[in-house]
Amino acid sequence: MVFLQTLFFLLLVTFGHSFPRHHHPFHSLLTDRAALLEFRKTIVSDPFSSLANWDEAVPVCNFTGVECDRSHNRVIRLILYDKGLVGLLSPVLSNLTGLHNLEIVRSHLFGIIPPEFSNLRRIHSIIIEGNNLHGSIPDSFSMLSKLNILVVKENNISGSLPPSLFSNCTLLNVVDFSSNSLSGQIPEEIGNCKILWSISLYNNQFTGHLPLSLTNLSLQHLDVEYNYLSGELPSKFVGSWPYLLYLHLSYNNMVSHDSNTNLDPFFTALKNNSNLEELELAGMGLGGRFTDTLPSQLTNLRTLLLQENQIFGSIPRSLANLSRLFILNLTSNLLNGTISSDIFTLPWLEQLFLSQNHFKSPLPEAIGKCLNLGLLDLSHNQFSGTIPDSLGNLVRLNSLFLNNNLLSGTIPPTLGRCSNLYRLDLSHNRLTGSIPLKLAGLREIRIFINISHNHLEGDLPIELSKLEKVQEIDLSSNYLTGSIFPQISGCIAVSMINFSNNLLQGEIPQSLGDLRNLESFDVSRNQLSGLIPAKLGKIETLTFLNLSFNNLEGKIPSGGIFNSVSNLSFLGNPKLCGKIEGVSLCSQRRRWIHARLLLIILILVIFVSTLLSIIFCVIGCKHLKVMISSQRTEARKNAARTELISNFPRITYKELSEATGGFDNQRLVGSGSYGHVYRGVLADGTPIAVKVLHLQSGNSTKSFNRECQVLKRIRHRNLIRIITACSLPDFKALVLPYMVNGSLECRLYPSSGSSDLSIVQRVNICSDIAEGMAYLHHHSPVRVIHCDLKPSNCLLNDDMTALVSDFGVARLLMSAGVGATDNMGNSSANLLFGSIGYIAPGNLCILQN
Ligand SMILES: *[C@@H]1O[C@H](CO)[C@@H](O)[C@H](O)[C@H]1NC(C)=O
Ligand SMILES: *[C@@H]1O[C@H](CO)[C@@H](O)[C@H](O)[C@H]1NC(C)=O
Ligand SMILES: *[C@@H]1O[C@H](CO)[C@@H](O)[C@H](O)[C@H]1NC(C)=O
Ligand SMILES: *[C@@H]1O[C@H](CO)[C@@H](O)[C@H](O)[C@H]1NC(C)=O
Ligand SMILES: *[C@@H]1O[C@H](CO)[C@@H](O)[C@H](O)[C@H]1NC(C)=O
Ligand SMILES: *[C@@H]1O[C@H](CO)[C@@H](O)[C@H](O)[C@H]1NC(C)=O
Ligand SMILES: *[C@@H]1O[C@H](CO)[C@@H](O)[C@H](O)[C@H]1NC(C)=O
Ligand SMILES: *[C@@H]1O[C@H](CO)[C@@H](O)[C@H](O)[C@H]1NC(C)=O
Ligand SMILES: *[C@@H]1O[C@H](CO)[C@@H](O)[C@H](O)[C@H]1NC(C)=O
Ligand SMILES: *[C@@H]1O[C@H](CO)[C@@H](O)[C@H](O)[C@H]1NC(C)=O
Ligand SMILES: *[C@@H]1O[C@H](CO)[C@@H](O)[C@H](O)[C@H]1NC(C)=O
Ligand SMILES: *[C@@H]1O[C@H](CO)[C@@H](O)[C@H](O)[C@H]1NC(C)=O
């Protein structure tokens, strides 16, 4: 009895309690739905259809980006990253009063931050970075007492930081207002936020001093770079931040102690900050001597940026105690003493910038001990003596800048061992001797080699032609002799060649015309002779040419670059003639001789051909007919070939990189073992998909060639068309039209629930694919077996037409005769070419048919 009573009581308690509560939350969920639908209405563009399922038919908790609490009473999270939404950050969102997280990141929301957001009393995090919001930060944010994280960076918020923002902030951990237009002082009240550990305010217009109250916080991360903050370096503060990891103060108006003459107090104060990883104090004109005061406790320091200051003295030995140091930047200071050899024992040092100082000493031999060094910039000093052989030990070195010094002696052949080098600048020194042949060991040089403005002599080494990847070669202003060898066309990636101001002789080789990426060619001030190769006019990329002050002769060719250059490209070549203003016209007499010669040839030709035709007639007309007909087919073939070239426009790596925002990960639309596919827009507005192949996988070049071969020959409504391709030694990409509706796979199995394809659409897609395959098998100029047909290889365009793509593993039946069809039936095992380790069921279906 007691038991039943208890049960009844319990039931009463449970229901009595939960009934009204249940009713109320349900009502709230309706409000939440109404608010979200209202928000959707203010969105004017949703490029990826991210909010497609935000409609009356779908439960609000199933909306993309929306999350409810466990009992589905309230919406607690609205999280939309990189959706490209355009529209107002609507105040209506403030009706989602149960919200814990509001994160709409990297879209194009505009308007102000609605003051009504102060209704979001349960909010933990507001992250609205990377939008187009303007206006000021509402005072009413003081009501958000549960806020942990507030990130508004990369908008255009102006005004000052309201002190009230920090009046109710006992739970605040992280504030980030970087890259806005905020101004005024950082309010003292910020010290109220007892557990605030990360402050990012970089790239604004804050003025005044750092607030003293910051000493009451335990900061790990302070980033106020690129503002107008003044005052002394915060030596009083750092002692109270034992957990400090990042201190970024660069590009403000701060000064060192004792009216900008003494760095020691600040450096000494850092001795308790043993966790510090990044110390950035660049671009402030900080004055003082660099001494042994950097505390040896900074054993975690990885980045030390002190460039663009007025620091003088030597590089102190104590730096060698910062054993984790990775980047040391002392560019543009007044350093004038010695470089302690000890710093070259730093085991992790990867980038060392000492450029634009007043160093005078010889280069220390000890540099060769810094085995992890990738970048060494000692340019624009007065370093003297020779280049140490030990540099050859730096096998990881990728960038070496020794230019603009007083270095003498020869270029050490050991440099050829730095096989990862891709930028080499030894220009503007006093180097002598010849260019060492071993330099051809530097085959990896991809970006540039510059040894201009030295005293180098000897012949232009033919080994240069082995630099297949180099983009810029500058050997100008030396005493180099010999000729430009035809093998120069081996530098297939080169875009700039400057051999000017040397003693080169001989002719300019025709093979230069094979350099398809050449943009600038300067051989002025040499002793070159002979004719100008007409093939130079065939290089479409060539925009700068200077052949001045040589002994070139003959007629300046026409076409390409020759139609746009002026006489400034041909100065000081008295034997040149042509139609360019300022260059002497090719003389009449010569023309007359030409004309007479032509006449004689013409008469001869007519005579001989008459004779021949008579002979032919005698021998037999049939032969002649055969010949004529074969000539016709040849002509047709030629026409087809030129059409092919004009159909597939040339595209450079640079254009592709620009079109895809530098192969930005945010543009990635797919990836696989073959490589990545990026979405992009060409300069003329064509939306494209760029398929970049991984070059590590051994088969990829083959696969690329195969796909090019297949794609360029076929044309069908249901097969993807190629716009063009880009093929460099270390970069291969196909440019395809961008398909708005993605792949069939994504439509069949979307990440958000079930597919929205109707039965009619499905049938249409099936028949599209079937038509595409039928064409491949029976009607295309080359017969092709796709071998990798699967939903992810079927793309959908804007009107939902299916197009089959990805011919990377296709098999061509080149000798498509009667036999080929038999072949298909008999040895299907031979034809199973699917991607390694995976053959979609689709393949089997096709082959069974
Ligand atoms: C937001 O809430 C207010 C007050 O509850 C209500 O009047 C208004 O209609 C709501 N707006 C929407 C779009 O739900
Ligand atoms: C909503 O989501 C739940 C759980 O994820 C699922 O069971 C349900 O079918 C979905 N409803 C709709 C209409 O998509
Ligand atoms: C702090 O937040 C609470 C809860 O939102 C609010 O009631 C109170 O008025 C706020 N205090 C100030 C000073 O804004
Ligand atoms: C940012 O706002 C300021 C005014 O507050 C305006 O002058 C400026 O043009 C805006 N910048 C951008 C990029 O919209
Ligand atoms: C630091 O906090 C203490 C105690 O809350 C307070 O008395 C003091 O004024 C604060 N210091 C600064 C500089 O804000
Ligand atoms: C470093 O920490 C010790 C003990 O925690 C403290 O006594 C000392 O004052 C601190 N030094 C500085 C420069 O803040
Ligand atoms: C480096 O650290 C060691 C041990 O902490 C210390 O004995 C030595 O003096 C330091 N060297 C310099 C140059 O500061
Ligand atoms: C080093 O400083 C120079 C000069 O300001 C700058 O160009 C370079 O980007 C800096 N490098 C790093 C890694 O900070
Ligand atoms: C370095 O420069 C400072 C300040 O200009 C000067 O006092 C000092 O004598 C110079 N040292 C050397 C070795 O030139
Ligand atoms: C050397 O040549 C490269 C490539 O043209 C160029 O980027 C670099 O600025 C040149 N160096 C100097 C010191 O002019
Ligand atoms: C080539 O080098 C010479 C001298 O070093 C220089 O005057 C000229 O501008 C350079 N040409 C190009 C195209 O950079
Ligand atoms: C080519 O070089 C010569 C000599 O250096 C110079 O006078 C002329 O202006 C240059 N021509 C062009 C087009 O830059």
Tell me which of 533 and 755 has the higher pLDDT. Answer: 533
Least confident of 580-594, 619-633, 693-707: 619-633
Cα–Cα distance for residue pair 266/250, rounded to 1 Å: 15
pLDDT of 207 strictly over 80? yes
Nearest ligand for residue 299 CA: 7
Helix (H) or strand (E) holding 727, with range, is strand 724-728
Q: Is 90 in the pocket of ligand 12 (CB under 6 A)?
A: no
Position 793 scores a pLDDT of 82
Position 21 scores a pLDDT of 41
| Residue 691: pLDDT band with limits 50, 70, 90 | confident
Tens digit of pLDDT for each residue in 132-188? 999 999 999 999 999 999 999 999 999 999 999 999 999 999 999 999 999 999 999
Compute the mean pLDDT over every residue in the chain, rounded to the nearest whole number.
84
What is the average per-residue pLDDT within 420-426? Answer: 91
Position 840 scores a pLDDT of 38
Burial of residue 684, with CB atoms counted within 10 A of its CB: 0-12 exposed, 13-18 middle, 19 or more buried: exposed
Known active-site residue 768: no
Ligand 4: distance of its center to the CA of 124 in Å?
Answer: 29
Beta bridge partners of 687: 681
CA terminus-to-terminus distance, the chain: 75
Position 846 scores a pLDDT of 30
Helix (H) or strand (E) holding 15, with range, is helix 2-41
pLDDT of 599 strictly over 80? no
Position 631 scores a pLDDT of 62
Protein residue with its CA nearest to atom 4 in ligand 6: 272
Nearest ligand for residue 498 CA: 11
Q: Is 269 in the pocket of ligand 6 (CB under 6 A)?
A: yes
Position 265 scores a pLDDT of 95
Most confident of 192-206, 651-665, 776-790: 192-206
pLDDT of 314 strictly over 50? yes
Task: For residue 488, give the nearest of 456, 518, 451, 529 by alpha carbon.
Answer: 518
**Which amino acid appears at position 271 of this protein?**
K
Cα–Cα distance for residue pair 697/706, rounded to 1 Å: 15
Burial of residue 528, with CB atoms counted within 10 A of its CB: 0-12 exposed, 13-18 middle, 19 or more buried: buried
Q: Is 792 in the pocket of ligand 10 (CB under 6 A)?
A: no
What is the average per-residue pLDDT within 422-436? Answer: 94
| Alpha helices (H) in 42-92, listed in sequence order | none
Tens digit of pLDDT for each residue in 48-62? 999 999 988 899 999
Cα–Cα distance for residue pair 482/506, rounded to 1 Å: 8
pLDDT of 634 strictly over 60? no
Ligand 8: distance of its center to the CA of 472 in Å?
Answer: 22
Task: For residue 124, give the nearest of 184, 171, 158 by alpha carbon.
Answer: 171
pLDDT of 648 strictly over 80? no
Which of 176, 264, 474, 788 is the catalytic position? 788
Tell me which of 632 and 701 has the higher pLDDT. Answer: 701
| Alpha helices (H) in 322-463, listed in sequence order | none
Least confident of 208-222, 435-449, 732-746: 435-449
Q: Is 377 in the pocket of ligand 10 (CB under 6 A)?
A: no
Position 673 scores a pLDDT of 66
Atom of ligand 11 lying closest to residue 476 CA:
5
Helix, coil or strand: residue 631: helix
Tell me the binding residues for ATP.
691
Tens digit of pLDDT for each residue in 551-563? 999 999 988 899 9
Atom of ligand 3 lying closest to residue 121 CA:
5
pLDDT of 636 strictly over 60? no
Ligand 4: distance of its center to the CA of 84 in Å?
Answer: 21
CA angle 687, 720, 670 (to 5 degrees): 60
Phi, psi of 216 (to 5 degrees): -80, -5
**In whole angstroms, how far apart are CA 537 and each of 518, 581, 695?**
11, 18, 33
Protein residue with its CA nearest to atom 7 in ligand 10: 448
Position 832 scores a pLDDT of 35
pLDDT of 536 strictly over 70? yes
The overall longest dimension of the chain from CA atoms, in Å, is 134
Atom of ligand 10 lying closest to residue 404 CA:
13
Q: Is 472 in the pocket of ligand 10 (CB under 6 A)?
A: yes
Residue indicated by tokens 């990883």: 277
Q: Is 67 in the pocket of ligand 2 (CB under 6 A)?
A: no
Residue 95: HSE in the Cβ half-sphere, 13 Å Cα cutoff: 16
Q: In sequence order, what E strands does 433-481 have?
A: 448-450, 457-459, 472-474, 479-481
Tell me which of 780 and 312 has the higher pLDDT. Answer: 312
Tens digit of pLDDT for each residue in 825-844? 333 333 333 333 333 333 33
Protein residue with its CA nearest to atom 4 in ligand 7: 296
Ligand 12, from 568, 570, 576, 583: best to mutate by most atoms within 8 Å of Cβ?
568
Residue indicated by tokens 């030894």: 426
Tens digit of pLDDT for each residue in 605-633? 777 787 877 666 566 556 555 555 556 55
Phi, psi of 99 (to 5 degrees): -65, 135
Nearest ligand for residue 331 CA: 8
Cα–Cα distance for residue pair 776/768, rounded to 1 Å: 12
Phi, psi of 385 (to 5 degrees): 80, -165
| Residue 592: pLDDT band with limits 50, 70, 90 | low
Helix, coil or strand: residue 111: strand
Tens digit of pLDDT for each residue in 439-490? 766 676 778 899 999 999 999 988 888 888 899 999 999 999 999 999 999 8
pLDDT of 7 strictly over 50? no
Ligand 6: distance of its center to the CA of 286 in Å?
Answer: 25
Position 629 scores a pLDDT of 57
pLDDT of 360 strictly over 90? yes
pTM of the model: 0.71
Position 467 scores a pLDDT of 87
Q: Is 121 in the pocket of ligand 3 (CB under 6 A)?
A: yes
Nearest ligand for residue 519 CA: 11
Position 356 scores a pLDDT of 98
Q: Is 501 in the pocket of ligand 11 (CB under 6 A)?
A: yes
Ligand 11, from 472, 500, 504: best to mutate by most atoms within 8 Å of Cβ?
500
Ligand 11, from 426, 453, 476, 502: best to mutate by most atoms within 8 Å of Cβ?
476
pLDDT of 231 strictly over 90? yes
Least confident of 250-259, 568-577, 694-703: 694-703
Cβ < 6 A, ligand 7 pocket: 292, 296, 317-318, 321
Q: Is 447 in the pocket of ligand 10 (CB under 6 A)?
A: no
